Amino acid sequence: MTLRWNAEAIWEAVSPLLPGFTVEILPEIDSTNTELMRRARAGQLEPTLLVAERQTAGRGRLGRDWQSDAQDQSPNLTFSLGLPLHPTDWSGLSLAVGLAVVQALHPDLQLKWPNDVWLAGRKLAGILIETASVGELRYAVIGIGINITPRAAADLRTPPAALSELLPDATAPLALQRVVLPLVQAIRAFEREGFAPLRPAFHTRDLLYGHEVVCSDGLVGMARGVDAGGALLVHTDQGLKKISSAEVSVRPRPAPTASLP
Ligand code: BTN
């Protein structure tokens, strides 16, 4: 399937916010994040939007793979935005990015802390943020994968969700066009103001709020939103705990016990 990427319109909208911005669409690459990190380490630090119609070695958070091959001919969206970034405080960046993505795409989308995008109990998009320090400068690579059409569940327990369930005409180019400018605006605002002003908006999309959760370190408690730095607040028997880095899952409710007559 030939895709029509409206790279020029994106470039025109984003350039005023990111001087020196370029847009690049590739038919195939190992990973858009890997490529922008390679370039940054080689001293290429211009703001760049790199889109791949296919990734052969897509990467997810926590060292996982990111599979994005669609079942039909219409590809899923995989792209990375690389840019020099100088926020006063980096905490909460990944939440701010997740929030920009859900707000740009659809009101029904939720965020599973820190930044997984979920629809009706299934994951729809993932975000991987990496940074490279080059001298005084820090270059951030913000990689986003959005399922546009249903894709094979591979080894996932729950089959992923797809944007076409909400927006039947969704394509990768349309989703990209919808997301990039709000994403850049959100990053610029984050640089100036940090995560704190976004806390109420995150709350409205917070999938975990009020659910009993289990963290990868074994901590169990009730999710109570996030603090001004984006840490997850968990109410436990030992009091309120702040989780800054852990994998968190909703604790399945115990099966109801059958009572015999
Ligand atoms: C996750 O949920 O684990 C994060 C997934 C991030 C996937 C995107 S696709 C574009 C960019 N390139 C990659 O290799 N990963 C990110």
State pLDDT tens for residues 52-67: 999 999 999 988 999 8
Task: Say what the pLDDT of residue 255 is.
Answer: 54
Please report the atom of ligand 1 found closest to the CA of residue 60.
3
**Positions marked active-site:** 61, 123, 251
What burial class does residue 168 get, using C-beta atoms within 10 Å of its C-beta: 0-12 exposed, 13-18 middle, 19+ buried? exposed
pLDDT tops 70 at residue 152: no
Question: Which position has the higher pLDDT, 76 or 1?
Answer: 76
Please report the atom of ligand 1 found closest to the CA of residue 59.
14
List residues near ligand 1 (CB under 6 A): 31-33, 55, 58-61, 64, 66, 78-80, 116, 126-128, 143-145
What is the SS3 string spanning 119-132? ECCEEEEEEEEEEE
In the reported structure, the alpha carbon of residue 255 is separated from the centroid of ligand 1 by a whole-number distance in angstroms of: 34
Cross-strand partners of 223: 234
Cα 214 to the center of its chain, rounded Å: 21
Task: Say what the pLDDT of residue 87 is.
Answer: 94
Residue to substitute in 66, 116, 127, 245 for testing ligand 1 pocket (most ligand atoms within 8 angstroms of CB) = 66
Three-state secondary structure call for residue 180: helix
Q: Which residues are CB-contacts of 86 (< 8 A; sequence separation ≥ 6)?
A: 138, 191
Instruction: List, for residues 244-256, the tens digit of each pLDDT value.
Output: 887 787 766 555 5
Pairing of strands 48-52, 122-134: unpaired
Please report the atom of ligand 1 found closest to the CA of residue 64.
3
Mean pLDDT of 29-51: 97
Report the alpha-carbon distance of residue 74 to residue 54 in Å, rounded: 11
Contact 226, 232 (CB under 8 A): yes
In the reported structure, the alpha carbon of residue 78 is separated from the centroid of ligand 1 by a whole-number distance in angstroms of: 7
In the reported structure, the alpha carbon of residue 98 is separated from the centroid of ligand 1 by a whole-number distance in angstroms of: 13
Question: Which position has the higher pLDDT, 12 or 135?
Answer: 12
Report the alpha-carbon distance of residue 214 to residue 207 in Å, rounded: 14
Where residue 258 falls among pLDDT bands split at 50, 70, 90?
A: low
